[in-house]
Amino acid sequence: MQTQNLNLGKHLSNPIFPLIAESAKELENKAFVVGGFVRDLMLKKSSKDIDVVVQGAGIDLALKVAEKTGNNTRVKVFKNFGTAMLRFNDLEIEFVGARKESYRRDSRKPIVENGTLEDDQKRRDFTINAMSIGLNEDDYGLLIDPFNGLSDLDNEIIRTPLEPNITYSDDPLRMMRAIRFSTQLNFTIEENSLKAITNNAERIKIVSTERITDELNKIILAPNPSRGFKLLLNTGLLKIIFPEMAELQGAEYKEGRGHKDNFYHTLIVLDNISKNSNNLWLRWAAILHDIAKPATKKWLEGTGWTFHGHEFLGSKMVPKIFKRLKLPMGDQMRYIKKLVALHLRPIILSEDIVSDSAVRRLLFETGNDIDDLMTLSEADMSSKNPEKIKRYKKNFEIVRQKLVEIEEKDRLRNWEPPISGEIIMEAFNLPPCREVGLIKSAIREAILEGEIKNDYDEAFNYMLNEGEKLGFQVAEKKH
């Protein structure tokens, strides 16, 4: 086992570390901090999660440490996994016995046996996650780095401790994790390791959708998520886990006219969004905004390639994609569905003279999501012509200003017309019927077109006129 001459004891200033060391000594065990905490320490990043490996029983050590904290610290025990977790101030500490693992071909769940620290480090996914720090009298604060993880950190490399084909075949989720760490840290995946991901891509099918999607979301939340999606595409993983996105890739030419590669365009939009927002669901809207382009692609003589209606079909595809990827089917899905359906509207407005009625309709349909829609649409503006982009951006500012002015004047975010169906029925002594809906729609359209103000009295008078046109007698004029 390779022990570096690097003593990190001064970084173990939190009182929990001496308590763990003292508890391990009393139990005649050896304990080590391992994994992400050590990696982040070397990267000068703070971490609130600490993994402690024990050459002995992890649960027993957790219970002993909890006794010593003296704050009635509760230990959460996971007997089936031989692990325990406790919270200490703002830290979450997990204890596990050192183990070695072997795998069956049809499962990523290993057969686990008790082992040494060395066994435990060998089963880690990457060298940068296999470093540990001793918490014992003979090695307190010393970095234990058997696979030169520190060197890989310095050289910004993702590498597996053992032969990569074995590492990825044993636990295929590690392929997603390699791409995730490469994306988050802006590290390069070592060549043999990258080839092994491509060779073992089909193995991802034995991993649960929830685990895959969790890693995918972490890639999406990285500073430049396009890096991860390019790796997913090039290794063949994307075609398996998210085929609709993989199908965006490629440009077709006919009669010398081609369309842009919608996969790489989507990545530009995603990175543009990522510069302005950490909202996971807005980033998902960027990923899905053109998802129906392959299905709507047509060649029209004299026009060229078209993708007519891709925003509407894309909106319909959102629930199916969310369901398959085990993403939330509630408000987040409906939010993305709306943004995909409307993503072209602000761009269309910015290309023409902006009418008040068009802005009113956009506010009415988008509600509180108007700012996110504008962010998405602005990120979607792509052209190799700098003058065109300059004009787009200038016009976009006009649209933004119009939105502010119309909102201040007409209060249309999350708007309901001032005249309800109940008021219409009472005014004309009507039961619920089709004509009530017609009158209500006419009032809404009149307000959106600017024919009347968003005002109860004006809307009520307009209702009376519409009802009389339909031949209804006013039962009682209450307002």
Kindly list the domain boundaries of the chain, sorted by start residue: 3-155, 156-241, 421-469
CATH for 156-241 is 1.10.110.30
DSSP state of 208: -
Q: Is pLDDT above 80 for 152? A: yes
3-state helix, strand, coil in the chain (%, to 5): 55, 15, 30
For position 476, what pLDDT does the model report? 58
Distance, in Å, from the CA atom of 183 to the CA atom of 185, rounded to the nearest integer, reads 6
Torsion 184-188-193-197 (CA) sign: positive
Q: Is pLDDT above 50 for 479? A: no
Q: Under a CB-based contact definition with an 8 Å cutoff, are residues 291 and 317 in contact?
A: yes
Average pLDDT over residues 99-110: 59
Q: Is pLDDT above 90 for 4? A: no
Q: Rounded to the nearest 5°, which phi and psi values hold at 102?
A: -135, 150
Distance, in Å, from the CA atom of 367 to the CA atom of 256, rounded to the nearest integer, reads 43
Cβ count near 464 (within 10 Å)? 17
Helices (H), 188-308: 191-199, 209-220, 226-235, 237-241, 243-246, 262-276, 280-288, 293-296
For position 50, what pLDDT does the model report? 94
Identity of the residue numbered 439: I
Average pLDDT over residues 341-355: 78
Tokens of residue 105, six digits: 């071909």
| Coil, helix or strand at residue 85 | strand
How far is CA 319 from its chain centroid? 16
How far is CA 97 from its chain centroid? 33
Distance, in Å, from the CA atom of 437 to the CA atom of 92, rounded to the nearest integer, reads 57
pLDDT tier for residue 312 given thresholds of 50, 70 and 90: very high
Residues 6+ apart with CB under 8 A from 38: 131, 132, 133, 143
For position 352, what pLDDT does the model report? 63
Q: Rounded to the nearest 5°, which phi and psi values hold at 88?
A: -135, 110
Q: Is pLDDT above 80 for 63? A: yes
Q: Under a CB-based contact definition with an 8 Å cutoff, are residues 134 and 142 in contact?
A: yes
For position 188, what pLDDT does the model report? 98
The more confident residue out of 8 and 314 is: 314
pLDDT tier for residue 414 given thresholds of 50, 70 and 90: low
Q: Is pLDDT above 50 for 51? A: yes
For position 100, what pLDDT does the model report? 63
Residues above pLDDT 70, as percent of the chain? 91
| Least-confidence region, from 193-202, 351-360, 432-441, 468-477 | 351-360
Average pLDDT over residues 194-223: 96
Distance, in Å, from the CA atom of 234 to the CA atom of 185, rounded to the nearest integer, reads 19
Average pLDDT over residues 387-403: 77
pLDDT tier for residue 376 given thresholds of 50, 70 and 90: very high
Distance, in Å, from the CA atom of 37 to the CA atom of 52, rounded to the nearest integer, reads 10
Torsion 263-266-272-277 (CA) sign: negative
Average pLDDT over residues 344-370: 78
Q: Which residues pair with 88 in a beta bridge?
A: 91
Q: Which of 271, 332, 320, 330 is nearest to 291 (CA)?
A: 320
pLDDT tier for residue 278 given thresholds of 50, 70 and 90: very high
Torsion 238-242-246-248 (CA) sign: negative
Q: Which CATH architecture has domain 3-155?
A: 2-Layer Sandwich (3.30)
Q: Is pLDDT above 60 for 103? A: no
Average pLDDT over residues 137-146: 92
Q: Is pLDDT above 80 for 315? A: yes
Cβ count near 360 (within 10 Å)? 23
**Residue whose structure tokens are 């890739």:** 249
For position 280, what pLDDT does the model report? 98
Confirm whether pTM is higher than 0.95: no
Q: Under a CB-based contact definition with an 8 Å cutoff, are residues 373 and 400 in contact?
A: no
